[in-house]
Amino acid sequence: MENQEIVLQTEKEIEIRFSEVDSMNIVWHGSYALYLEDAREAFGRKYNLEYLYMFGKGFYAPLVEMKLNYKRPLKYKDKAKIQITYRNTEAAKIIFDYKILDLETEEVLATAHTIQVFLDKDYNLVWSIPDFFLEWKKMNNLI
């Protein structure tokens, strides 16, 4: 049964660098994937779910889905924050929802969603939740 009451969330602040914008002075769409990655790494540090930890347990967790909805463009030198929220599921997946907000006004600039699955070290899809991830969910009161 999914527990919707527990919210695991963190934030990552960013300042838009020149290398992230295109000739129109707005953030190139490909940069958003890096921002989401930065948010997942911040989440992993806060909740002990870092990529090297998963790898040490014998698993990879590649992205299989990424959706972005742009509301307003980010420009060079803008400051924003990315809110990342873990969405609990009974499936052998890691699902995150994101909001990218203007740091000062809190205006939503973009929303996003990612899904990761588990692969073993031989790159085989793992259909059941790995033991280490079940333990992580228990430690965070998700099951």
Mean pLDDT of the chain: 95
As a three-state string, the secondary structure of the chain is CCCCCCCCEEEEEEECCHHHECCCCEECCCHHHHHHHHHHHHHHHHHCCCHHHHHHCCEECCEEEEEEEECCCCECCCEEEEEEEEECCCCCEEEEEEEEEECCCCCEEEEEEEEEECEECCCCECCCCCHHHHHHHHHCCCC
Domains detected in the chain: 9-135 (3.10.129.10)
Q: In what order do the strands lie in the sheet with 63-70?
A: 9-15, 79-87, 93-102, 108-117, 63-70
Give the pLDDT band of residue 3 (cuts 50, 70, 90): very low
CA 79 to chain centre: 19
16-31 residue pLDDT tens: 999 999 999 999 999 9
Give the pLDDT band of residue 10 (cuts 50, 70, 90): very high
Sorted by sequence, the CB contacts under 8 Å of residue 106 that are 6+ apart come out as none
Give the pLDDT band of residue 6 (cuts 50, 70, 90): confident
Give the pLDDT band of residue 50 (cuts 50, 70, 90): very high
